[in-house]
Amino acid sequence: MSGALSERYGSMFDLTGRSVLVVGGGGIGAEVAAALAAHGAAVTVADVDAAVAAAVAERVGGRSAAVDVTDTGSVAALAAAGAPDVLVTTVGMNVRRSLAGYSDAEFDRVLSVNLRGVFTLIRAFGPVMAAAGRGSFVAYSSIRAQTVEPGQGAYAATKAGLVQLVRTAAAEFGPSGVRFNAVAPGVVATELTGQIRADEAWSQAYARRSALGRWAEPAEMTGAAVFLASDASSFVTGSVLLVDGGWTAVDGRFDPPLPG
C-alpha cells in the first residue's frame, strides 16, 4: 500500500485521543467499552450501578461514573463534566408480558428507561457536543423497532421511538457537526435475554430465526459502535445499522409462553 493510501485510510478506525462515554456498563455495554478502548479511546463507563461501572472501567483501563438515566439531574451532572467526542448508550430493560397484562407501573418503567432515558441523554449532551462542534452519539435500539412478537409491545414501542429521536437529533444537531445513529441488534446472549435462553424451545426457535441460525455474542455487537464512533462513518448520520444475523431479512414466527 502506498504511503498516501495508508495515511488516508489506514487510521480510519483509530480512536486514539478520542474521549468516549459509554452509558450502560452491563452486557453489550461492557464489550462496547472494551472495543472502543482497544481502538485507542479514553473510555468512561457510566451505569446506574456504580460497582458495575467501576468493574468495567478497571477492565478497559478507563474511568467510571454513576448515572441514572431516569433522573434528569443525574444526567445533567454527568454532562456538566464536558462533551465527550463519542457517546454510546446501551441502556435498556424489558418486561415480557401481553399488552392486556401490563400494569401501569411496568409500562412506565420500560418507557422511562428505554425512551425517556435516551431522550434525557440527547437533551443533555446534544447541546454540549454541538458547542464543541463535533461528536458522535450512538444509541442501541433493537430489531424490535421493526419487527415484533407477542409480549414485546412496550419494549418494541420504546425502541421504535428511540430511532425517531435519534433521527430528529441528527437533523437538529447535524449543522453543528454532531452525528446521531442507532444500532439495532438481533438476539444476543445477555442477561436481558436470559428468560428466552432458559426455555430450550424458545431459544432454539430464536437461533433458527436468523439467516445465520444462531445467537450472537455481545462482542459481535461492538464493530458497529467502533465504526460509528470513528472517522470511517464521517458521513453517516440519522441511520440505523442492523446487526441481526439476517433476522429482518428472513421470514418466520414463534409464539413464546407469556404470563398475563
Instruction: Check which CATH number belongs to the domain holding 107 and give it.
Output: 3.40.50.720
Residue 216's H or E segment, with its range, is none
Q: Do the domain assignments include residue 10?
A: no
Using alpha carbons only, give the angle 227, 57, 78 rounded to the nearest 5 degrees: 80
Active site residues: 155
Domain count for the chain, please give it.
Answer: 1
Q: Which residues contact 128 (CB under 8 A, 6 or more apart)?
A: 79, 82, 83
Query: Hey, how many other C-beta atoms are within 10 angstroms of the C-beta on 252?
Result: 10
Q: Do the domain assignments include residue 65?
A: yes
User: DSSP character for 245?
Assistant: T
Q: How confident is the model at residue 90 (pLDDT cuts 50, 70, 90)?
A: very high
Grid coordinates given for 26: 452491563
Q: Do the domain assignments include residue 108?
A: yes
Report the C-alpha gap between 65 and 20 in whole angstroms.
Answer: 13
Report the C-alpha gap between 197 and 255 in whole angstroms.
Answer: 14
In this predicted model, what pLDDT tens digit does every residue of 114-157 receive, in sequence order?
Answer: 999 999 999 999 999 999 999 999 999 999 999 998 999 999 99
Give the residue numbers spanning the domain of 191: 15-246
Q: Do the domain assignments include residue 192?
A: yes
Q: Do the domain assignments include residue 132?
A: yes
Return the minimum-mean-pLDDT range out of 6-20, 142-156, 244-258. Answer: 244-258
User: DSSP character for 238?
Assistant: S
**What share of the chain in percent tops pLDDT 70?**
95
Q: Do the domain assignments include residue 127?
A: yes
User: Which residues is 136 bridged to in the sheet?
Assistant: 86, 179
Q: Do the domain assignments include residue 5?
A: no
Q: Do the domain assignments include residue 19?
A: yes
- The residue among 110, 116, 112, 113 whose CA lies nearest residue 94 is 110
